[in-house]
Amino acid sequence: MVRTTHIPQNETIGYSNIPNQIMTASRKHIFRLNILIAGEYSRKEISVLNALFGQDVLSANRQEAEKGGVKFVTSGAMIEEHGVLFLVSITQTAGGESQQESISGFIEGQFLKHGETESPLKPEDDQSKDERPHVCLFFIKPHARKLGKKSMDFLKKTSARLPLVPIISCAETLTSFEVARKRREIHRQLQENNLACLSFENISWLESSRRPAIEPFWVLFPLAVPSGLLAQKECSEYGPRRRKYPWGVMNAEEVHDEDFLVLRRILASHYFAFLKKEADFIYRQSKHEKTAPAECKSERAIEERVEKKIFEYGEFCTMAKSISLEETIGTSLELK
């Protein structure tokens, strides 16, 4: 189904919205996001990340991977928008999901490194020193019929450590019908395997009147995004329905361009704070499971941690003073 997005002329969908989600005391620090990309992808398919962030944040050294092993290539850039500093770091996994043990070891190593350097009193004080991955973008080939067994095993293991966002790459090569059919098939696979992707369903503290504003985000995964080359073309080539931002352009009539906008909002705009909160909770939960005694790992203990997660989300909402989610999928989202 094709969804339309209506964007006000004066709307800004960028990094300058992030401080509105965080307490004033936290605005003096650099906002940082570490992205781990995996799956079956090529340079062209992940070039959409350059369009998302408005500059070349990818390294061309992925092809230098050692034969028979995995080499992790990390690149990034410091971006400034309206006086707000945003540091994005992207780690490419040369081995893909077939080398899930090495990738899991890399994630665990970053967690341990972060645990040794973080402040015990104010662990979230300085984001510039946080090198642990915050989200995993799993790219899926546009013409792949479904996810294979290795991919599903990799996603299950990774989703226990990081918020997961599956992405159908180069969606411009598919028709709207093909995009909808592929999305249904992959979504069904994820549900059958009880695989948890990044979701806003557990934000139970939201008022019922505000929930319809974010309900579309519950069923969007996997996202279908175009390649970076298409996303960066000039508006004049597409007509009046194209809108140009500092990071690219968008057509409200195309499904893959709308998902491009959704991905932008998740990674570096309106839902940035929710993403970081989810990543931090998973990290704390993993750290607790390693240090807690065996009796604390019972089913009841897990339920208590889930309840604590919901409470922390509510507490975060209170700290942020107020959150206005008055958009239907295309109207502006303001976090004051």
Mean model confidence pLDDT for the chain: 66
Nearest to 128 by CA among 118, 143, 120: 118
**pTM given for the model:** 0.69
User: Tell me, what CATH number does 254's domain have?
Assistant: 3.40.50.300
In which residue are the tokens 């598919």 written? 174
Within a domain: 2: no
Q: What is the distance between the alpha carbons of residues 311 and 61, in angstroms, rounded to a whole number?
A: 43
Token pair for 102: 């090495």
Do the domain assignments include residue 250?
Answer: yes
CA 77 from centroid of its chain's CA atoms: 17
As for how many domains the chain has, the answer is: 1
Residues 199-228 have pLDDT tens digits of: 655 444 444 554 445 554 555 678 888 776
Half-sphere exposure of 142 (CA within 13 A, CB side): 20
Asked if the structure places residue 1 within a domain, the reply is no
What are the CA-CA distances from residue 299 to residues 41, 296, 304 (Å)?
38, 9, 9
Dihedral of CA 166/113/111/31: which sign? negative
Task: Out of 8-17, 43-52, 92-101, pick the least confident.
Answer: 8-17
pLDDT tens, position by position, 57-66 = 876 555 554 4
**Predicted confidence (pLDDT) per residue in 95-125, tens digit:** 555 566 778 888 888 887 877 776 665 555 5
Domain that holds residue 175: 15-335
10: in domain: no
Domain assignment of residue 9, yes or no:
no
What's residue 243's pLDDT?
Answer: 52
- The Cα 251–Cα 133 span in angstroms is 31
- Look at residue 163 and tell me if it is in a domain: yes
**At residue 160, what is the residue type?**
A
Q: Is residue 125 helix, strand or coil?
A: coil
Residue 12 confidence class, pLDDT cut points 50, 70, 90: low
**Per residue in 295-325, pLDDT tens?**
454 444 545 555 554 444 444 444 433 333 3
Domain presence at residue 71: yes
pLDDT band at 154 (very low <50, low <70, confident <90, very high): confident
> Is 6 within the bounds of a domain?
no
- Using DSSP's 3-state secondary structure scheme, residue 148 falls into coil
277 CB neighbour count, 10 Å cutoff: 18
Average pLDDT over residues 165-180: 84
Is pLDDT at 150 greater than 80 in this prediction?
Answer: yes
> What letter would DSSP give residue 25?
G
Q: Which residues contact 16 (CB under 8 A, 6 or more apart)?
A: 81, 82, 83, 84
One-character DSSP codes across 126-144: -GGG--S--EEEEEE-TT-
Contact call for residues 198 and 266 (beta carbons, < 8 A): yes
**For position 204, what pLDDT does the model report?**
46
